[in-house]
C-alpha cells in the first residue's frame, strides 16, 4: 500500500514543485518543516492570545471570522479592511504548505510577504491581543500551549472526515499544486499522506482534552445546524455578552453568501498571485474557490460506495478504543 501511495505522491504534484514530504514526529509535512520546527516549539505564547486550531478544511476560516468578530465587538469595518491572514495569521504556514515550501526552496519566494515567507517571526511580532491559527496537532503545538503555562484560549473545530476530504481535495488542487484525481486523493487521505495527517490522531489529541477550561471544542456540522447557538457558546467562552440583535447581525455576516463574497476571507488574491506569477510552474493553473460550497454531506455525491465503505471502516478502526461519550 505504501508503495502505491508513494507512487501517487510522486506523480500528483506540478512537475515544477518537486516537494519531498516526511513524517515529523507522527505528522505528514513537507521536508521544509524542520526549518521552522524549533521556532514553533519555542514560540512565546501570551496570556491574552486566542488560538483557532484545526485539521485543514474543517471550518477553520469560518471559525476564525466568528472568533475575531466576537472578540472585537463586531468591528466589521476593520475586518473588511484587513485580510484575515493578517489579523489572524497562520503560525506555521512557511513550513507546512506548498507556497511555504516555494518561499524556502525557490528564489520566487522572496516576493512573498512575511505572513507567508516568515510566518512564525511575523506572528511573534504582532501586538497583543493576538489571534493565531494553527493546524498543528496537540502534541506539536508550541510548548507553552501544551504545558498550559499561559492562560490563553484555544478553540478547536472539527468536521466529518468524508466532507473534510472532499474540501481538502479542492484545496489541494487550488493551493497545493495537486494535479491528480479525487480517487487518488482519497487514497492519500486514508493513508495519512496529506499535509497534517493523520486526521483522527489530530482530532483525538484535542478532544481528549475536552475538560480543559481553556479549550472550546466546536463542530462544523453544529455551526451549519444552529449558528446562533455556536456564536453564543463561543462568546461565553471568550467572556463576551452578545445581545440577540448582535448575534443575528453576526450570523448574517457569517452566512455562506457573505463569506464567499468577502475578499477579506476568500483568498481570491492568493489564487490570482499563484496564477499570474506562475508560482507553481508555467503549466499549473490554480482552479476553484477557497470558499466553495459550505455544505455538509458533499461526500454523498462525490465518493463511490467502495470509498465510502473504506472511510467508514477506517473511522471505526480509529475510534474503536474510545469511550462512547
Closest C-alpha among 95, 93, 97, 89 to residue 51: 89
Compute the distance between CA of residue 88 and CA of residue 133 in angstroms, rounded to an integer.
Answer: 6
**Contact partners, residue 117, CB within 8 Å, separation at least 6:** 94, 100, 103, 109, 110
8-state DSSP, 219: E
Q: Tell me phi and psi for residue 23, to 5 degrees.
A: -100, 110
Taking residue 90's Cβ as centre, other Cβ atoms within 10 Å add up to 23
Q: Tell me phi and psi for residue 27, to 5 degrees.
A: -120, 135
How many Cα atoms occupy the beta-carbon half-sphere of 139 within 13 Å? 12
Compute the distance between CA of residue 69 and CA of residue 236 in angstroms, rounded to an integer.
Answer: 14
Please tell me whether the overall predicted TM-score, pTM, comes out greater than 0.85 for this model: yes
Q: Which residues of the chain have pLDDT under 50?
A: 109, 290
Compute the distance between CA of residue 219 and CA of residue 128 in angstroms, rounded to an integer.
Answer: 28
8-state DSSP, 283: T
3-state secondary structure 61-95: HHHHHHHHHHHCCCCHHHHHHCCHHHHCCECCHHH
139 is catalytic: no
Catalytic residue among 135, 170, 171, 202: 135
CATH annotation of 1-319 = 3.40.50.300
Sign of the torsion formed by the C-alpha atoms of 268, 185, 137 and 113: negative
Amino acid at each position: 500500500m505504501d508503495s502505491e501511495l508513494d507512487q501517487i505522491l510522486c506523480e500528483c504534484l506540478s512537475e515544477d514543485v518537486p516537494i519531498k514530504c516526511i513524517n515529523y514526529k507522527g505528522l505528514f509535512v513537507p521536508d521544509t518543516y524542520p526549518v521552522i520546527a524549533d521556532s514553533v516549539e519555542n514560540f512565546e505564547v501570551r496570556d491574552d492570545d486566542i488560538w483557532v486550531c484545526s485539521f485543514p478544511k474543517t471550518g477553520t476560516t469560518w471559525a476564525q471570522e466568528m472568533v475575531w468578530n466576537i472578540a472585537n465587538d463586531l468591528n466589521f469595518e476593520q475586518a473588511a479592511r484587513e485580510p484575515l491572514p493578517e489579523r489572524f495569521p497562520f503560525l506555521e504556514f512557511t513550513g507546512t504548505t506548498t507556497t511555504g515550501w516555494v518561499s524556502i526552496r525557490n528564489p520566487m519566494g522572496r516576493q512573498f510577504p512575511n505572513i507567508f515567507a516568515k510566518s512564525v517571526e511575523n506572528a511573534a511580532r504582532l501586538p497583543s491581543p493576538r489571534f493565531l491559527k494553527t493546524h498543528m496537532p496537540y502534541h506539536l503545538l508550541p510548548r507553552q500551549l501544551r504545558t498550559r503555562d499561559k492562560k490563553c484560549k484555544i478553540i478547536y473545530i472539527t468536521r466529518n472526515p468524508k466532507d473534510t476530504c472532499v474540501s481538502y481535495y479542492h484545496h489541494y488542487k487550488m493551493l497545493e499544486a495537486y494535479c491528480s484525481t479525487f480517487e487518488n486523493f482519497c487514497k492519500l487521505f486514508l493513508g495519512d499522506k496529506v499535509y497534517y495527517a493523520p486526521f483522527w490522531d489530530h482530532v483525538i489529541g484535542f478532544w481528549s482534552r475536552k475538560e480543559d477550561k481553556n479549550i472550546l471544542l466546536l463542530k462544523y456540522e453544529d455551526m451549519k445546524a444552529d449558528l446562533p447557538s455556536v456564536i453564543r457558546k463561543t462568546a461565553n467562552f471568550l467572556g463576551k455578552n452578545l445581545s440577540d440583535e448582535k448575534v443575528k447581525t453576526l450570523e448574517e455576516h457569517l452566512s455562506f453568501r457573505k463569506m464567499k463574497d468577502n475578499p477579506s476571507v476568500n483568498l481570491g488574491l492568493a489564487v490570482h498571485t499563484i496564477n499570474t506569477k506562475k508560482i507553481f510552474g508555467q503549466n499549473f493553473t490554480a482552479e476553484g474557490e477557497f470558499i466553495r460550497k459550505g455544505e455538509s454531506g458533499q461526500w454523498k455525491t462525490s465518493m463511490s460506495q467502495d470509498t465510502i465503505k473504506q472511510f467508514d471502516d477506517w473511522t471505526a478502526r480509529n475510534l474503536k478504543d474510545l469511550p462512547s461519550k
